[in-house]
């Protein structure tokens, strides 16, 4: 751990980005958030707005037509979209998750082939790691890839795949040498239209209902050998490096959801009157808001510090303790988001429990941030093994 004070302060450019994304989110995404949740439909309006403003995949390097945004800028985009719609924030978040293995480990040819259309908004990316019997124990996956001449043939099932069926491109982890356990796992790019690729029915979920979560079935899917990402046997290492960076984007989603709930609760307690005055004048309510704001700001500083480390590692720095700080940011921010959204529902009383008000949706959306990209129990294991 660096001994110097390591608070990462957003630059003026970052502040300008936040203002522009917030304005866009409030104008083009927020009006559809309740409908997207109620109908459990993909937020096409959000995708269209994000693509039109080059905010759907800001992490893609400039050499492939992307904005080349740093890790903090990506965090800010996700945070501000999540502030109004958790489902929609998974568009930029999962585009990064799915494509980062390509950025980290793929050949120049693969990068150009798949990152260029992503940057243009012509495609979306998803990430296929988890399986029915391999969740927290990702190394226990059973999906196999067998070399056959100039091709690889993939067979297996991937579960809990975010934006499955909507995304055009998938990073798939598969076993290429069963005797080597995690060192026998490789990464591949699979396209939605490859023969043998199909999808299960959308899961019926508690929250983030606008982002489809489906199984991905691989039935003798034959792909060209050059779609192997990196060297054979390096897929698991690439997957773990990816999560070091992208757990920070889940922290960002949690921040945004929590901020949206806090903002709404603050306004509500000034309008709602009981005993002849706004309930915001009561000390018990004030203490709740103070605790919510305190937890949120602590989570934000930890997340931004982790984003700074992510960026420095991306630029070639070493010894940044990214594994610890990525896990810590995701764990702390998601726990804080669950507490803050639950308190927001409490502050609205009976109204908070109804779908006429957005905080119950935010509470439901917040829950998944404690679960995906590694449960918070797993994050604590990761942190304990990587103490700075």
Q: Which residues are catalytic?
A: 373
For every residue of 206-260, DSSP letters joined together read: SS-TTS-EEEEEEEEEEEEGGGEESSTT-HHHHHHHHHHHHHHHHHHHHHHHHHH
Strands 125-128 and 169-175: parallel
Cβ contacts of 23 within 8 Å, gap of 6 or more: none
Residue 240: other Cβ atoms inside 10 A: 15
Q: 359-368 and 30-39 are packed helices; what angle lies between their axes, rounded to 10 degrees?
A: 70
Please check whether residue 375 is in contact with residue 263, taking contact to mean a CB–CB distance below 8 angstroms: no
**Three-class secondary structure assignment of 110-144:** HHHHHHHHHHHCCCCEEEECCECCECCCHHHCCCE
- What are the Cα distances from residue 145, in Å, to 190, 223, 236, 354? 12, 10, 14, 48
66 φ/ψ angles, rounded to the nearest 5 degrees: -90, 180
H runs (alpha helix) in 315-350: 322-347
- What are the Cα distances from residue 276, in Å, to 110, 280, 343, 345, 350? 66, 12, 23, 22, 19
Please check whether residue 193 is in contact with residue 142, taking contact to mean a CB–CB distance below 8 angstroms: no
Q: 44-52 and 30-39 are packed helices; what angle lies between their axes, rounded to 10 degrees?
A: 150
Please check whether residue 186 is in contact with residue 165, taking contact to mean a CB–CB distance below 8 angstroms: no
């Amino acid at each position: 751990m660096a001994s110097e004070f390591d608070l990462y302060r957003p630059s003026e450019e970052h502040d300008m980005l936040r203002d522009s994304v917030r304005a866009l989110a409030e104008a083009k995404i927020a009006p559809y958030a309740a409908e997207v949740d109620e109908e459990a439909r993909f937020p096409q309006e959000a995708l269209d707005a994000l693509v039109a403003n080059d905010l759907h995949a800001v992490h893609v390097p400039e050499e492939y037509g992307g904005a080349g945004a740093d890790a903090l800028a990506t965090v800010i985009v996700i945070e501000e979209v999540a502030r109004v719609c958790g489902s929609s924030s998974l568009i930029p978040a999962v585009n990064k998750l799915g494509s980062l293995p390509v950025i980290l480990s793929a050949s120049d040819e693969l990068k150009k082939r798949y990152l260029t259309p992503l940057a243009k908004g012509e495609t979306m990316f998803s990430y296929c790691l988890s399986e029915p019997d391999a969740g927290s124990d990702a190394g226990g996956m059973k999906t196999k890839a067998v070399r056959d001449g100039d091709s690889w043939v993939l067979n297996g099932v991937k579960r809990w795949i975010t934006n499955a069926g909507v995304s055009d491109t998938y990073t798939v982890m598969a076993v290429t040498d069963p005797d080597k356990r995690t060192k026998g796992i490789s990464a591949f790019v699979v396209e939605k239209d490859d023969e043998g690729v199909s999808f299960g029915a959308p899961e019926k979920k508690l929250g983030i209902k606008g982002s489809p979560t489906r199984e991905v079935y691989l039935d003798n899917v034959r792909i060209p050998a050059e779609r192997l990402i990196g060297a054979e046997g390096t897929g698991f290492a690439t997957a773990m490096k990816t999560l070091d960076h992208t757990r920070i984007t889940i922290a960002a989603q949690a921040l945004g959801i929590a901020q949206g709930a806090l903002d709404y609760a603050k306004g509500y307690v000034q309008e709602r009157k009981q005993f002849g005055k706004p309930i915001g004048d009561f000390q018990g309510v004030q203490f709740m808001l103070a605790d919510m704001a305190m937890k949120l700001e602590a989570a934000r500083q930890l997340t931004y510090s982790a984003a700074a480390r992510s960026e420095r590692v991306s630029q070639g720095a070493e010894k940044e303790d990214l594994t610890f700080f990525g896990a810590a940011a995701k764990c702390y921010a998601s726990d804080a988001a669950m507490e803050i959204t639950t308190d927001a529902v409490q502050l609205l009383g009976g109204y908070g429990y109804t779908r006429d008000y957005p905080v119950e949706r935010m509470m439901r959306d917040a829950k998944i941030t404690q679960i995906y990209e590694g449960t918070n129990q797993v994050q604590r294991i990761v942190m304990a093994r990587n103490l700075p």
